Structure 1
Amino acid sequence: MSKMFEAVAQWAGHRAGCASTFLGALALILVWMLSGPFFGFSDTWQLIINTSTTIVTFLMVFLMQNTQNRDTRALQLKLDELIRATQGAEDRMISLEDSTEEQLDVVKRRFDTLRDSAPGAR
């Protein structure tokens, strides 16, 4: 199930960002608007667009979160590789994103101290 979701989410994420998808959505909105007089601008006519856009928005939140999680993970792995490959870099910075808030606060304070003691610091 997870593999299928990943495949669908990746495909949908790529499609959602395409110009053709935007134009398709725009065309649907135009068709809905032009159908207003035919349906007498009824409550049902309005409910169709409200319900449709709510459902699409709800589902897109999950797709966007999945895409963001995947992108963030890839970025973190790339940064980890740069740290690993850079001579003199602190290896303990690798996978720092998995640290607790307290651990991150300690590292932040350490870098604040380094920044403040650097030549030309504020």
Structure 2
Amino acid sequence: MAAGFFHQFSNLVSRGAGKPLTFAVACGLILLWAVSGPFFGFSETWQLVVNTATTIVTFLMVFVVQHTQNRDGEAVQAKLDDLIMALRHADNRLIGAEELTGHELHKLRKIIAERVENDEQTLEQIDSRMTDGS
């Protein structure tokens, strides 16, 4: 229940936060705060209001942005996994590579680099045969 609410809330906030109108409203609030400074004598309370508000908003937005990035990352990963499965010569060990340890990922990258090098050598051999044959 709470996870579903947070998911919907973070979607709403992240969509809203990225709109030009939201940016304009935030700029307007800062401008209003700055213009009100002389009326409050640029007091510590006046400064504390904006400092506290921005700190709270920033702190909460960290969690909203992280949730959005996690969701987007998982969606991209699912799409990449689907593309890997769709390609005939793709290495299916790449599916779920984001879950590997650093050492396992390094070994996998080394295997792929060797495969690429072998493919390049094969292409060079084909090119040389085609050139020699003409």
Alignment of 1:1-122 (within 5 A): 1-116=2-117, 118-119=120-121
* 1:116, distance to aligned residue in structure 2 (A): 4.9
Q: 2-side partners of 1:16 and 1:76: how far apart?
A: 25
Q: Distance in 1 between matches of 2:95 and 2:113?
A: 19
CA RMSD of aligned residues (A): 1.5
More helix by percentage: 2
Distance 1:110 1:83 in 2: 16
1 CA distance for matches of 2:112 and 2:42? 61
Alpha-carbon displacement from aligned partner over 1:25-73 (angstroms, at most 9, x marks no partner): 0110011011101100001000111111111111111111111101110
Highest CA radius of gyration, 1 or 2? 2
Separation of aligned partners in 2, 1:82 and 1:37: 60
Q: Which runs of 5+ in 2 are unaligned?
A: 124-134
Shift of 1:112: 3.3
TM-score by length of structure 2 reads 0.83
Given residue 100 of structure 1, which amino acid in structure 2 is its aligned partner? Answer: T
Relative contact order, higher structure (CA 8 A, sep 6+):
2
- Find the aligned partners of 2:9 and 2:29 in 1 and give their Cα distance: 23
Query: Aligned partners of 2:106, 2:16: CA distance in 1, in Å?
Result: 39
Q: Which moved more, 1:102-111 or 1:82-91?
A: 102-111
Aligned residues: 120
Q: Percent identity?
A: 45
2:76 maps to amino acid:
L
